[in-house]
Amino acid sequence: MTEITAGGASVRREVAFRGGGFIAMPKPAYSWIAFAGIIALWQLAISAGWIDPVFLPSPASIVEALWQLTVSGDLWKHLSISLARIGSGWLIGSGLGLIVGVSMGLTSAGRAIGMPLVSAIYPVPKIALLPLLILWLGIGETPKVVTIASGVFFPTVIATLAGVDSVPRNLIAMAQSFNLPTRSIVWKVLLPSALPGILAGFRISVSTALLLVVAAEMIGAQYGIGAFLLTAGNLMQSDDLMAGVVILSILGLGFGAGLTALERVLLRWR
Protein backbone atom coordinates (compact mmCIF):
# COMPACT_ATOMS: atom_id res chain seq x y z
CA MET A 1 0.00 0.00 0.00
CA THR A 2 1.35 3.39 -0.82
CA GLU A 3 0.36 6.82 0.15
CA ILE A 4 1.07 9.82 -1.96
CA THR A 5 2.68 12.52 0.09
CA ALA A 6 2.58 16.20 -0.69
CA GLY A 7 5.96 16.02 -2.41
CA GLY A 8 4.79 13.17 -4.67
CA ALA A 9 7.24 10.64 -3.16
CA SER A 10 5.71 7.33 -2.05
CA VAL A 11 6.02 6.12 1.53
CA ARG A 12 6.96 2.46 2.07
CA ARG A 13 5.06 0.63 4.81
CA GLU A 14 5.38 -2.95 5.88
CA VAL A 15 2.26 -5.09 5.44
CA ALA A 16 1.13 -6.31 8.86
CA PHE A 17 0.49 -10.05 9.28
CA ARG A 18 -3.18 -10.74 9.71
CA GLY A 19 -3.51 -14.47 9.02
CA GLY A 20 -2.99 -17.41 11.34
CA GLY A 21 -5.12 -18.92 14.07
CA PHE A 22 -8.08 -21.24 13.48
CA ILE A 23 -5.77 -24.22 13.20
CA ALA A 24 -5.58 -26.90 15.90
CA MET A 25 -1.96 -27.48 16.80
CA PRO A 26 -1.02 -30.57 18.80
CA LYS A 27 -0.16 -29.46 22.33
CA PRO A 28 -0.04 -32.68 24.40
CA ALA A 29 1.64 -30.94 27.32
CA TYR A 30 -1.42 -28.72 27.74
CA SER A 31 -3.69 -31.76 28.13
CA TRP A 32 -1.55 -33.18 30.89
CA ILE A 33 -1.14 -29.86 32.69
CA ALA A 34 -4.88 -29.20 32.56
CA PHE A 35 -5.61 -32.74 33.73
CA ALA A 36 -3.16 -32.49 36.62
CA GLY A 37 -4.45 -29.02 37.45
CA ILE A 38 -8.05 -30.18 37.69
CA ILE A 39 -7.05 -33.12 39.93
CA ALA A 40 -4.98 -30.85 42.16
CA LEU A 41 -7.78 -28.28 42.42
CA TRP A 42 -10.25 -31.04 43.19
CA GLN A 43 -8.06 -32.44 45.98
CA LEU A 44 -7.46 -28.94 47.33
CA ALA A 45 -11.17 -28.12 47.36
CA ILE A 46 -11.85 -31.15 49.53
CA SER A 47 -8.78 -30.83 51.77
CA ALA A 48 -9.64 -27.18 52.39
CA GLY A 49 -13.23 -28.09 53.15
CA TRP A 50 -14.81 -26.15 50.29
CA ILE A 51 -16.55 -29.30 49.07
CA ASP A 52 -18.08 -31.85 51.41
CA PRO A 53 -16.57 -35.29 50.68
CA VAL A 54 -20.09 -36.66 51.13
CA PHE A 55 -20.88 -35.18 47.70
CA LEU A 56 -17.58 -35.68 45.95
CA PRO A 57 -14.90 -38.07 47.19
CA SER A 58 -11.37 -36.74 46.96
CA PRO A 59 -8.93 -38.02 44.31
CA ALA A 60 -6.86 -39.47 47.12
CA SER A 61 -9.77 -41.53 48.46
CA ILE A 62 -10.57 -42.73 44.92
CA VAL A 63 -6.97 -43.84 44.47
CA GLU A 64 -7.19 -45.52 47.87
CA ALA A 65 -10.37 -47.34 46.78
CA LEU A 66 -8.66 -48.42 43.55
CA TRP A 67 -5.67 -49.64 45.53
CA GLN A 68 -7.89 -51.64 47.89
CA LEU A 69 -9.65 -53.19 44.90
CA THR A 70 -6.33 -54.15 43.36
CA VAL A 71 -4.67 -55.66 46.42
CA SER A 72 -7.80 -57.57 47.45
CA GLY A 73 -7.83 -59.22 44.01
CA ASP A 74 -11.43 -58.08 43.44
CA LEU A 75 -10.39 -55.78 40.60
CA TRP A 76 -9.23 -58.69 38.48
CA LYS A 77 -12.36 -60.69 39.33
CA HIS A 78 -14.65 -57.81 38.34
CA LEU A 79 -12.61 -56.94 35.26
CA SER A 80 -12.24 -60.45 33.89
CA ILE A 81 -15.96 -61.17 34.22
CA SER A 82 -16.98 -57.86 32.67
CA LEU A 83 -14.44 -58.13 29.87
CA ALA A 84 -15.73 -61.59 29.00
CA ARG A 85 -19.28 -60.21 28.79
CA ILE A 86 -18.23 -57.13 26.83
CA GLY A 87 -16.06 -59.22 24.52
CA SER A 88 -18.63 -61.88 23.70
CA GLY A 89 -21.50 -59.37 23.47
CA TRP A 90 -19.49 -57.09 21.23
CA LEU A 91 -18.32 -59.92 18.96
CA ILE A 92 -21.83 -61.31 18.53
CA GLY A 93 -23.43 -57.89 18.09
CA SER A 94 -20.92 -56.55 15.61
CA GLY A 95 -20.66 -59.85 13.71
CA LEU A 96 -24.42 -59.93 13.15
CA GLY A 97 -24.43 -56.18 12.52
CA LEU A 98 -21.82 -56.57 9.78
CA ILE A 99 -23.77 -59.34 8.07
CA VAL A 100 -27.07 -57.45 8.25
CA GLY A 101 -25.45 -54.13 7.27
CA VAL A 102 -23.79 -55.62 4.20
CA SER A 103 -26.97 -57.44 3.16
CA MET A 104 -28.91 -54.20 3.50
CA GLY A 105 -26.25 -52.36 1.52
CA LEU A 106 -26.21 -54.94 -1.25
CA THR A 107 -29.82 -55.90 -1.80
CA SER A 108 -32.79 -53.65 -2.29
CA ALA A 109 -35.00 -56.18 -0.49
CA GLY A 110 -32.69 -56.22 2.51
CA ARG A 111 -32.78 -52.45 2.67
CA ALA A 112 -36.55 -52.28 2.29
CA ILE A 113 -37.04 -54.79 5.12
CA GLY A 114 -34.19 -53.72 7.36
CA MET A 115 -34.33 -49.93 7.27
CA PRO A 116 -37.72 -49.44 8.98
CA LEU A 117 -36.96 -52.21 11.48
CA VAL A 118 -33.65 -50.66 12.46
CA SER A 119 -35.21 -47.21 12.77
CA ALA A 120 -38.02 -48.58 14.90
CA ILE A 121 -36.01 -50.81 17.23
CA TYR A 122 -32.74 -48.89 17.64
CA PRO A 123 -34.13 -46.13 19.90
CA VAL A 124 -35.92 -48.53 22.27
CA PRO A 125 -34.20 -48.18 25.66
CA LYS A 126 -32.82 -51.61 26.47
CA ILE A 127 -33.11 -51.03 30.23
CA ALA A 128 -36.88 -50.60 29.90
CA LEU A 129 -36.99 -54.09 28.41
CA LEU A 130 -35.08 -55.74 31.26
CA PRO A 131 -38.15 -57.33 32.90
CA LEU A 132 -39.12 -58.90 29.57
CA LEU A 133 -35.55 -59.91 28.86
CA ILE A 134 -35.43 -61.68 32.23
CA LEU A 135 -38.73 -63.40 31.45
CA TRP A 136 -37.41 -64.63 28.07
CA LEU A 137 -33.81 -65.41 28.88
CA GLY A 138 -33.63 -65.84 32.64
CA ILE A 139 -30.89 -64.28 34.74
CA GLY A 140 -27.76 -66.17 33.65
CA GLU A 141 -25.07 -64.96 31.29
CA THR A 142 -27.38 -65.03 28.24
CA PRO A 143 -29.42 -61.88 28.99
CA LYS A 144 -26.24 -59.99 29.92
CA VAL A 145 -24.52 -60.87 26.67
CA VAL A 146 -27.72 -60.22 24.72
CA THR A 147 -28.10 -56.77 26.30
CA ILE A 148 -24.60 -55.79 25.16
CA ALA A 149 -24.94 -57.49 21.76
CA SER A 150 -28.24 -55.75 21.03
CA GLY A 151 -26.72 -52.39 21.91
CA VAL A 152 -23.73 -53.04 19.66
CA PHE A 153 -25.75 -54.48 16.77
CA PHE A 154 -27.57 -51.33 15.67
CA PRO A 155 -24.68 -48.86 15.45
CA THR A 156 -22.75 -51.53 13.56
CA VAL A 157 -25.59 -52.02 11.07
CA ILE A 158 -25.87 -48.29 10.50
CA ALA A 159 -22.11 -47.75 10.16
CA THR A 160 -21.74 -50.74 7.83
CA LEU A 161 -24.63 -49.61 5.66
CA ALA A 162 -23.19 -46.09 5.45
CA GLY A 163 -19.79 -47.61 4.66
CA VAL A 164 -21.19 -49.76 1.85
CA ASP A 165 -23.19 -46.82 0.51
CA SER A 166 -20.06 -44.68 0.41
CA VAL A 167 -18.11 -47.15 -1.76
CA PRO A 168 -17.28 -45.27 -4.98
CA ARG A 169 -19.50 -46.68 -7.74
CA ASN A 170 -16.71 -46.38 -10.27
CA LEU A 171 -14.75 -49.04 -8.36
CA ILE A 172 -17.72 -51.40 -8.69
CA ALA A 173 -17.99 -50.54 -12.40
CA MET A 174 -14.26 -51.18 -12.79
CA ALA A 175 -14.55 -54.59 -11.12
CA GLN A 176 -17.54 -55.47 -13.31
CA SER A 177 -15.69 -54.36 -16.45
CA PHE A 178 -13.06 -57.00 -15.67
CA ASN A 179 -15.76 -59.65 -15.13
CA LEU A 180 -14.97 -60.10 -11.43
CA PRO A 181 -17.50 -62.52 -9.87
CA THR A 182 -19.98 -60.93 -7.41
CA ARG A 183 -18.35 -62.67 -4.46
CA SER A 184 -14.98 -61.22 -5.38
CA ILE A 185 -16.51 -57.76 -5.79
CA VAL A 186 -17.90 -57.97 -2.24
CA TRP A 187 -14.68 -59.25 -0.68
CA LYS A 188 -12.10 -57.40 -2.76
CA VAL A 189 -13.80 -54.09 -3.47
CA LEU A 190 -16.85 -53.44 -1.32
CA LEU A 191 -15.71 -54.53 2.14
CA PRO A 192 -12.21 -53.02 2.07
CA SER A 193 -13.68 -49.81 0.76
CA ALA A 194 -16.34 -49.74 3.49
CA LEU A 195 -13.73 -50.53 6.15
CA PRO A 196 -13.09 -46.93 7.31
CA GLY A 197 -16.83 -46.48 7.95
CA ILE A 198 -17.06 -49.85 9.66
CA LEU A 199 -14.10 -49.03 11.93
CA ALA A 200 -15.65 -45.68 12.80
CA GLY A 201 -18.76 -47.64 13.76
CA PHE A 202 -16.63 -49.89 15.96
CA ARG A 203 -15.49 -46.82 17.88
CA ILE A 204 -19.11 -46.09 18.74
CA SER A 205 -20.08 -49.69 19.40
CA VAL A 206 -17.17 -50.31 21.75
CA SER A 207 -18.24 -47.30 23.85
CA THR A 208 -21.80 -48.57 23.73
CA ALA A 209 -20.66 -51.97 24.98
CA LEU A 210 -18.89 -50.29 27.92
CA LEU A 211 -21.99 -48.25 28.71
CA LEU A 212 -24.19 -51.31 28.55
CA VAL A 213 -22.09 -53.48 30.81
CA VAL A 214 -23.66 -51.56 33.70
CA ALA A 215 -27.15 -52.23 32.36
CA ALA A 216 -26.28 -55.87 31.64
CA GLU A 217 -24.99 -56.42 35.16
CA MET A 218 -28.23 -55.11 36.61
CA ILE A 219 -29.44 -58.63 35.93
CA GLY A 220 -28.38 -60.80 38.83
CA ALA A 221 -24.66 -60.12 38.73
CA GLN A 222 -22.54 -60.52 41.85
CA TYR A 223 -19.29 -59.65 40.09
CA GLY A 224 -18.32 -57.35 37.23
CA ILE A 225 -17.45 -53.68 36.97
CA GLY A 226 -21.10 -52.80 36.37
CA ALA A 227 -22.28 -54.81 39.37
CA PHE A 228 -19.56 -53.19 41.47
CA LEU A 229 -20.69 -49.72 40.35
CA LEU A 230 -24.34 -50.48 41.08
CA THR A 231 -23.60 -51.81 44.55
CA ALA A 232 -21.37 -48.85 45.38
CA GLY A 233 -24.14 -46.51 44.21
CA ASN A 234 -26.80 -48.32 46.20
CA LEU A 235 -24.69 -48.19 49.33
CA MET A 236 -23.63 -44.57 48.75
CA GLN A 237 -19.97 -45.65 48.74
CA SER A 238 -18.98 -42.75 46.56
CA ASP A 239 -15.23 -43.48 46.57
CA ASP A 240 -15.87 -47.00 45.25
CA LEU A 241 -18.38 -45.59 42.79
CA MET A 242 -15.86 -43.11 41.41
CA ALA A 243 -13.20 -45.83 41.36
CA GLY A 244 -15.52 -47.87 39.15
CA VAL A 245 -16.06 -44.87 36.91
CA VAL A 246 -12.29 -44.44 36.63
CA ILE A 247 -11.92 -48.11 35.67
CA LEU A 248 -14.58 -47.72 32.97
CA SER A 249 -12.86 -44.57 31.68
CA ILE A 250 -9.52 -46.33 31.53
CA LEU A 251 -11.15 -49.22 29.66
CA GLY A 252 -12.68 -46.71 27.25
CA LEU A 253 -9.31 -45.05 26.67
CA GLY A 254 -7.68 -48.45 26.22
CA PHE A 255 -10.23 -49.63 23.68
CA GLY A 256 -9.99 -46.31 21.86
CA ALA A 257 -6.20 -46.58 21.67
CA GLY A 258 -6.51 -50.18 20.46
CA LEU A 259 -8.86 -49.11 17.67
CA THR A 260 -6.56 -46.26 16.69
CA ALA A 261 -3.70 -48.74 16.39
CA LEU A 262 -5.92 -51.08 14.36
CA GLU A 263 -6.91 -48.23 12.05
CA ARG A 264 -3.27 -47.30 11.59
CA VAL A 265 -2.51 -50.83 10.39
CA LEU A 266 -5.64 -51.51 8.36
CA LEU A 267 -6.07 -48.05 6.86
CA ARG A 268 -2.43 -47.43 6.03
CA TRP A 269 -3.57 -46.86 2.46
CA ARG A 270 -5.52 -43.71 3.24
List, in sequence order, the alpha helices (H) in the chain.
28-47, 59-71, 74-106, 108-121, 130-137, 141-165, 169-177, 182-184, 191-216, 225-234, 238-266
Nearer to other proteins, 96 or 137 (CB): 137
Residues 6+ away with beta carbon under 8 Å from 194: 102, 105, 160, 163, 164, 166, 167
Nearer to other proteins, 188 or 203 (CB): 188
Rounded to a whole number of angstroms, the minimum distance from the CB of residue 189 to other proteins is 7
Nearer to other proteins, 100 or 167 (CB): 167
- Answer for the pair 225, 78: CB distance below 8 angstroms, yes or no: yes
Distance of alpha carbon 167 from alpha carbon 195, whole angstroms = 10
Nearer to other proteins, 83 or 180 (CB): 180
Rounded to a whole number of angstroms, the minimum distance from the CB of residue 205 to other proteins is 21
Task: Report residue 265: phi and psi, to 5°.
Answer: -75, -50
Rounded to a whole number of angstroms, the minimum distance from the CB of residue 109 to other proteins is 21
Binding site for other proteins (CB under 8 A): 52, 54-56, 127, 130-132, 134-136, 138-140, 168, 170-171, 173-181, 184, 188-189, 192-193, 195, 214, 218-222, 227, 229-231, 233-238, 241, 268-270
